[in-house]
Chain A
Amino acid sequence: MPEHTPAPTPSRAVYGFVLYLCCYSALALYFVWAIIPDSFLHSLGLTYWPQKYWAIAIPIHVGLAIALFGAVIYPAINLTMTPPLGDLRTVTDPHAVSLQDKMVPEGGIPPVSDIPISQVCRHLYMDPN
Chain B
Amino acid sequence: MCENSNRVTKLTSTHRSVDGKKLWLDIISHDSSNLCFEFTVKNVSVFFTGKKFVFSVFVIVSLLAALDIHNPNLYVVVVLIFVIGRLIAELLWSVNSESVLLVAPVGLQLTATYQFGRQTSQFIPWHFITDVIINEAITLHRVVYYLAVLLEQPYHETTRKKLIPLFQHTRPRLACLEMIYQRIQRGAAFPEVSSQ
Contact = CB atoms under 8 A, between A and B. Distances in A.
A117 B133 contact: yes
Nearest to B164: A86
Contacts of A126: 181-182, 185
Interface string A70-92: 00000000010011011110110
Nearest to B174: A125
A124 B162 CA distance: 22
B13 to A, nearest CB: 16
Given A122-B185, A125-B182, A126-B185, A90 B196 contact: no
Interface in B159-196: 161-165, 168, 177-178, 181-182, 185, 195-196
B137 A121 contact: no
Nearest to B195: A98
Contacts of A85: 135, 137, 139, 144, 146, 148, 163, 165, 168
Interface in B103-137: 130-131, 133-135, 137
A118 B137 contact: no
Interface residues of A, number: 19
Contact of A88 (B131, B134, B161): B161
Contacts of B35: none
Interface in A50-102: 79, 82-83, 85-88, 90-91, 98
A127 interface: yes
A116 interface: yes
A98 B195 CA distance: 8
A86 B165 contact: yes
B69 interface: no
Interface of B: 130-131, 133-135, 137-140, 144, 146, 148, 150, 161-165, 168, 177-178, 181-182, 185, 195-196
Given A86-B165, A121-B131, 10 more contacts: A85-B148, A86-B148, A90-B135, A91-B133, A98-B195, A117-B196, A118-B133, A118-B150, A118-B196, A125-B177
